[in-house]
Structures are given as structure tokens and as C-alpha cells.
Amino acid sequence: MGEIRENVKRNLGYYLSLRGISQKELADKLNVSQSAVTNWIKGKNSPDIETVAEICDILSISVVDLFGTENNDMYTEMEKRVIAEYRKKPELQHAIHVLLGIEK
């Protein structure tokens, strides 16, 4: 199995679980069959590039998160939730940056 497919297999399952989204829910949001999502998670095939963008949007993750090899265990569950919520709320990101002293 290719490295990219293996990464998608691992990361897609991980982020679906983290977000509490079922394979069926993702399939419905993407207008694809549940078996297509199952095949991605099993590593039998990979989503096309347009679908990858939609998956990342739905899961509030980057393409690097989906395809990457970074160990997802490096963050606590709370840190992962904070990151996910941060990515969902671009209108609050500037305020957070100011609070953290990243921006003025």
C-alpha cells in the first residue's frame, strides 16, 4: 500500500473519531456512498483532490493533517479540541492572536 494512502487511512479515521462524525455522515455531506468512505478508511483507494478539499473543510483540518505523517498523539485531547474549534472560527482568530501576544 502506498504511503499516502496509508496516511489517509490512518488520519481520516482518526479525525472522524475526534470530531464524532460517522462514515455515513461524511458520505452524506460529500454526496458519495458510504462504501467509498469505508474504502478510504480501509486504504483500498483514496479520495480525489476535490473531495480531499471538502473532507478537510468538513473536518476543519488541513491537507497536511489528512496526508501527513505527524504523530497525532503529540497533542492532548483538549489541545486537539482547541485547535479544531480555532479553525472553525476565523472571525475570532485575530482576537485570540491578540490575547496570546502574537498580533497587536
Predicted TM-score (pTM) of this structure: 0.66
Q: Where along the chain do its domains lie?
A: 3-70, 73-104
Sign of the Cα pseudo-torsion (97, 67, 21, 24, in order): positive
Residue type, 6: E
CA dist., res. 66 & res. 56, Å (int): 7
CATH top-level class of 3-70: mainly alpha
Where does 1-89 have alpha helices with state H? 3-19, 23-30, 34-42, 49-59, 63-67, 77-88
Mean pLDDT for each 10-residue chunk of the chain (104 residues)? 83 91 96 96 92 95 86 71 85 89 84
Instruction: Give me the pLDDT at residue 73, please.
Output: 59
The x, y and z cell numbers of residue 63, run together, are 491537507
